[in-house]
Amino acid sequence: MALAGLKAIEFAGLAPGPFAGLILADNGADVIRVDKPASSSNDILCRGKRSIAIDAKTNSGRDVLKKLISTADILIDPFRPGVLERLGLGPDVFLGNANRKGANERLIYARISGFPKTGPHKDMAGHDINYIALSGVLSMLPGTVEKPAFPVNLLADFAGGGLMCVLGILLALITRSNSGRGQVVDVDMVSGTRYLSSFPLLQTLLPNSVFPRPRGENLLDGGAPFYGIYTCKDKGLMAVGCLEPQFFEAFIKGFLGALPNGFALPDGWRPAARSQGNREAWPKLKEFLTRGFQTNTRQFWTDVFHGTDACVVPVLSPKEASEYEVFRSPFPQPHPAILGFSSVSKGTVSEALELQAGSHTEKILCELGLTGDELQRLAKDRAVENTLRCPKTRL
C-alpha cells in the first residue's frame, strides 16, 4: 500500500487527529496512538492503529516518547499551540534549528488547531460550529431567514481539519523525497474550512454570483425548487438536484407522468420545462412538487426516477446506506480506490470500533529496544501502568 513502511505517532485527541491517523492507517502506515495511562478512549476512528499508554509528564515517559518520535516519519499533534513544546517535544527538538541539530530531521510534524495560530482567537477553546462560524461559510448554509443550519461536525473537524492535515502530510512527504528533510505542517480548521469552501466564498465576489440573494433564495441554498429535499406520503425523503435544463426536463416529464391523472394546484397550475428558468414561478413550482411527492411513497418515486437523468434519488438512513449494493457494510470503506498493481495488501478492513488505551504498550517499547533499566525507570515513575518485560531483558 502507498504508505506501507511509514510510522506515524498520533497523540490521542478528538475528531480531526484520529481521522487523519485513520486515513494514514488505512493506506498502510503503522499508526501508534499515544494515550495517557489509566485512560479510556471514545475514539472510534481507531481502525488499524496500535496504542501505547505513557505519561508524557514524567521524565522517563517523556524520554521514551522522544525516542519513539525519533524513529517515526510522521507526528500528529492535536493540542492547542504550545502544549507539546512545553513538554519538550516541540518541532525544534526533532527538526532542529539554526543553532542545533534535530533528533529526527526527516520527521513530518503535523499540528492541528481550531483557530489560526496567530489570530486573536488562538488561545480560545472551540468546536466545529465555532470554526465554520469564523470561516464565513456558515452564514451561507441553508436554514431559515433568521439563521443558517450547521451540518453536524463535518466541515471543520473532518474536512477542514483531518483531511487537510493528511493532504499537508502527503505534500510534505513528497518534498522530503527530494530534500531529505521533514517539515512542519500547520493546519487550523478555520483556514481549512475556508479553503475547501473556495467555490461559494469566491462566488460572493462576482457580480453574477449564484448567491446574490438572502439565504434560502439562491440556486444552491434551498431557494431553487429543483434543488432540494421533498417528503413523500410515507414520510420518506427524496433528494432532487436537476440543475441543468436537460435534467430538469427529464425530471418534469417523469414526475408529471407518475402523478394521478389531472393533478394540479388548486388554481389549475401545472409546471412545464420552461418553468425552471422563470424565477417568478418558483413558489408555485415548489408547492406543486411538495404536494406531488406527497401523493406516493419514497419507494414509488425511487422506482420512477431510477436509471434516468432526472437527478433524483432517495435519502437513505445510515442503515439503508450500509445495505446499498455498492457498500454492503455499515463501516465506511477507505477511499479513493487506488487501482493498479500492488504487492502489499492489508486484506479485509477491520471493523473494530474500540482500541483499548495501552493495549500495545509493551510490544511498542520492546520494538524500541529499551533496556531493563529504562523499563524499571518507567515503572518507578509510574509512567506506565504495569510492569513491563521484553524478551532477553531482565528487570
CATH value at residue 288: 3.30.1540.10
User: In the structure grid, which three cell numbers stand for residue 61, read together?
Assistant: 515517559
Q: What is the CATH number of the domain that holds 37?
A: 3.40.50.10540
DSSP code of 322? H
Residue 167 has pLDDT above 60, yes or no: yes
Decide which of 338 and 313 is more confident: 313
Domain final position from 280, 315, 350: 315
- Indicate the number of domains in the chain: 2
Say if 211 falls within a structural domain: no
Same domain, yes or no, for 246 and 372? Answer: no
Q: What is the pLDDT of residue 344?
A: 43
CA angle 30, 32, 27 (to 5 degrees): 30
Q: What is the pLDDT of residue 350?
A: 62
User: In the structure grid, which three cell numbers stand for residue 68, read together?
Assistant: 519513539
Decide which of 362 and 236 is more confident: 236
Same domain, yes or no, for 347 and 304? Answer: no
DSSP code of 262? T
Q: Which residues of 179-203 are buried (b: 16+ CB within 10 A; e: fewer)?
A: eeebbbbbbbbbbbbbebbeebbeb
Same domain, yes or no, for 363 and 276? Answer: no
Decide which of 282 and 329 is more confident: 282
- The pLDDT tens digits for 62-121 are 999 999 999 999 999 999 989 999 999 999 999 999 889 999 999 999 999 999 998 899
Same domain, yes or no, for 265 and 138? Answer: no
Q: What is the pLDDT of residue 236?
A: 98
Residue 393 has pLDDT above 50, yes or no: no
Active site residues: 127, 157
Same domain, yes or no, for 310 and 350? Answer: no
192-206, 251-265, 322-336, 381-395: segment of lowest average pLDDT:
381-395
The neighbour count for residue 266, using CB atoms within 10 Å, is 7
Q: How confident is the model at residue 341 (pLDDT cuts 50, 70, 90)?
A: low
- The pLDDT tens digits for 351-386 are 678 899 989 999 999 999 988 888 889 988 899 987
Same domain, yes or no, for 282 and 144? Answer: no
Say if 117 falls within a structural domain: yes
Say if 2 falls within a structural domain: no
Q: How confident is the model at residue 33 (pLDDT cuts 50, 70, 90)?
A: very high
CA angle 248, 154, 182 (to 5 degrees): 120
Residue 5 has pLDDT above 90, yes or no: yes
Same domain, yes or no, for 82 and 160? Answer: yes
Question: Domain containing 291: what range?
Answer: 227-315
